[in-house]
Amino acid sequence: MKLCILGGGGFRTPYVYQALLRDHGSPRIDEVALYDVDESRLHTMTAILTELATGFEDAPALAPTTDLHRAVEGSDFVFAALRVGGLEGRRCDEHVALDLGVLGQETTGPGGLAYAIRTVPVMVEAARVIRDLAPNAYVMNFTNPAGIITEAMQSVLGDRVLGICDTPSGLGRRVAGTLGLDHTRVQMDYVGLNHLGWMRRLLYDGRDVLPELLADDGKLAAMEEGHVFGVDWIRTLGVIPNEYLFYYYNNRDAVRTIVDSGKTRGDFLAESQASFYERAAQAGDSAADLWRTTVARRSASYMAEAKGGTQDAPAEVRERETDPAHQGYAGVALGVMAAISRNERQTMILNVRNSGTIAGLPADAVVEVPTMVDANGVHPLTTDQPDLHQIGLMAQVKAVERHTIAAALTGSKDEALKAFALHPLVDSVAVARDLVRGYVDRIPEVAAVLTR
């Protein structure tokens, strides 16, 4: 089978390729098209992947290209993870908002909306190319903000595009691990939008083990979420929030900490990624090692501001994505491909069309919920309804997401203003106006979209 990776020159491509190398089921991916707009990154990444494939006799063939049509044509699966505007765009997403005293983050808050505005048109166009040249392909969208991008792409591809995030499965694994349970045997009851969800129960042999965790100070405190949210707040909520809810529940602290740290995540990554690609281009046979050390550093400083550290001095080293047994990022994608192509039925938390699963949201809204995946596609599982707080926040953010998509597709600054002004983390219409102006001034790819 052919897999096309949109954004194939990107830093996380080796996760996917490593997972493919170790996958021996049938049918399997034997051809990987790597599409990227940056030829030199594509070259560097191809060299790293080739190095990783050493010793694997049946390594999937690599076809790097800057030609989107050629990359997509005849694909069975498309994996999309790209960053329109690059890391300089991410820095502006953060800084324009922080300069106005509101959250500057790549997916949550106004920064995520600016990121979406420039990304939606590109991904909708990619969706059209996929519809025409790979009509049977399933699209696994990792491109952030994943919920918004997936919903926009669904207008072209329907249920053949699903959004993937590694945070719900990561949360499930951490809870299982903390309780000493085999994470492959637990089933999570989770509801939300992407980066805005809650784990409500964790079933093990049919029994909900979450109350056990909530009752245990030591275990809760040892978990990353205990650290980020505080044991008391988690217990008060009675559910475990997705780590991105830190930016809502602790908004002031988050803004202050990021501003005081002097370096945003985007600042840190712009430096470290530029130096990685430069050095990797010259590293020859050791480029894969360089990738591994860079990944470890990137993982260690992930969400540093939520854990009492800074990008340069993270408080705590956390095992994330680097453990091949976890395969966080790529594992979910591989699971989807196996379930669909081999009819290996699996339940997974994915971003899919609501279709009545959550009564308070439109049927065609994309939500992040447990689904059953098999050869017939992806089906959301019926679930208990969210409580008032959860549905309220989801509905508000969904409205914002829809104005964002409308702004991106029509170029309307009024729609953009509505999106920013209605966002729960933007506290004034005046600030929303400044945000629209600031993003148009600072990010050429946003200016190119918002023309009306």
Contacts with Mn ion, residue ranges (CB under 5 A) = 165
Smallest distance, Å, CB 34 to ligand G6P? 19
CB 156 within 8 A of CB 127: yes
3-class SS string, the chain: CEEEEECCCCCCHHHHHHHHHCCCCCCCCCEEEEECCCHHHHHHHHHHHHHHCCCCCCCCEEEEECCHHHHHCCCCEEEECCCCCHHHHHHHHHHHHHHCCCCCCCCCCHHHHHHHHHHHHHHHHHHHHHHHHCCCCEEEECCCCHHHHHHHHHHHHHHHEEECCCHHHHHHHHHHHHCCCCHHHEEEEEEEECCEEEEEEEEECCEECHHHHHCCHHHHHHCHHHHHHCHHHHHHHCCEECHHHHHHHCHHHHHHHHHHHCCCHHHHHHHHHHHHHHHHHHHHHHHHHHHHHHHHHHHHCCCHHHHCCCCCCCCCCCCCCCCCCCCHHHHHHHHHHHHHHCCCCEEEEEEEECCCCCCCCCCCCEEEEEEEEECCEEEECCCCCCCHHHHHHHHHHHHHHHHHHHHHHHCCHHHHHHHHHHCCCCCCHHHHHHHHHHHHHHCHHHHHHCCC
As measured in angstroms, the least distance from the Cβ of 165 to ligand G6P is 5
> How far from chain centre, in Å, is Cα 24?
26
Residue 103 or 432: the one with the smaller Cβ distance to Mn ion is 103
Q: Is-contact 334 23, C-beta < 8 A?
A: yes
Stretch that binds ligand G6P, among 55-63, 161-169, 272-280, 405-413 (CB under 6 A): 161-169
Q: Is 361 in the site for ligand G6P (CB under 6 A)?
A: no
Residue 39 neighbours by CB distance under 10 Å: 12
Residue nearer to ligand G6P on the CB measure, 66 or 167: 167
Nearest distance, CB of residue 140 and Mn ion, angstroms: 13
Nearer Cβ to Mn ion, position 195 or 442?
195
Residue 49 · residue 21 · CB < 8 Å: no
Closer Cβ to Mn ion, 42 or 254, answer by number: 254
A 10 A CB-CB count for 3 gives: 25
**First-residue to last-residue Cα distance in the chain:** 43
Q: CB 265 → ligand G6P: shortest distance, Å?
A: 5
CB of 6 to ligand G6P, least distance (A): 15
Cα distance between residue 184 and residue 168, in whole Å: 14
Between vectors from CA 203 to CA 330 and to CA 325, what angle results, nearest 5°? 25
Nearer to ligand G6P (CB atom), residue 233 or residue 302: 302
Is 165 one of the binding residues for ligand G6P (CB under 6 A)? Answer: yes
Q: Which does 94 bind (CB under 5 to 8 A by kind): Mn ion, ligand G6P, none?
A: none
Residues in 131-150 that interact with ligand G6P by CB under 6 A: 144
> With respect to Mn ion, which residue has the nearer C-beta, 78 or 165?
165
Q: Is residue 166 close enough to count as binding ligand G6P by CB under 6 A?
A: yes
Q: Select the binding partner of residue 302 from ligand G6P, Mn ion, none (C-beta < 5 to 8 A, by kind).
A: ligand G6P
Smallest distance from the beta carbon of 144 to ligand G6P, in angstroms?
Answer: 5
Per-position x/- string for 389-428, each x denoting binding to ligand G6P as judged by CB under 6 A, each - no binding: ----------------------------------------
User: Minimum distance between the CB of residue 411 and ligand G6P, rounded to whole angstroms?
Assistant: 27
- Which residue number is nearest to Mn ion in terms of Cβ? 165
Those residues with Cβ within 8 angstroms of residue 129's Cβ, 6 or more apart along the chain or in another chain: 68, 69, 72
Which partner, ligand G6P, Mn ion, none, binds residue 265 by CB below 5 to 8 Å per kind? Answer: ligand G6P
For residue 144, the minimal CB distance to Mn ion (Å) is 6
Among 265, 402, 403, 442, binds ligand G6P (CB under 6 A): 265
The residue (of 140 and 231) whose beta carbon lies closer to Mn ion is 140
By rule CB under 6 A, what string of x and - marks binding of each residue 87-126 to ligand G6P?
Answer: ----------------------------------------
Of 162-170, 222-230, 359-367, 391-399, the segment contacting ligand G6P by CB under 6 A is: 162-170
User: Residue 36 binds which one of ligand G6P, Mn ion, none, with CB within 5 to 8 A depending on kind?
Assistant: none
Identity of residue 261: S
Residues 301-340 that bind ligand G6P (CB under 6 A): 302
Minimum separation from the CB atom of position 187 to ligand G6P (A):
20
Given the complex with ligand G6P, which of 15 and 204 has the nearer CB atom?
A: 15
CB closer to ligand G6P, 41 vs 265 = 265
Residue 83 or 183: which CB sits closer to ligand G6P? Answer: 83
Which residue of 118, 174, 298, 398 would you call a contact of ligand G6P, by CB under 6 A? Answer: 298
Instruction: Note the residues at the interface with ligand G6P (CB under 6 A).
Output: 144, 165-167, 265, 298, 302
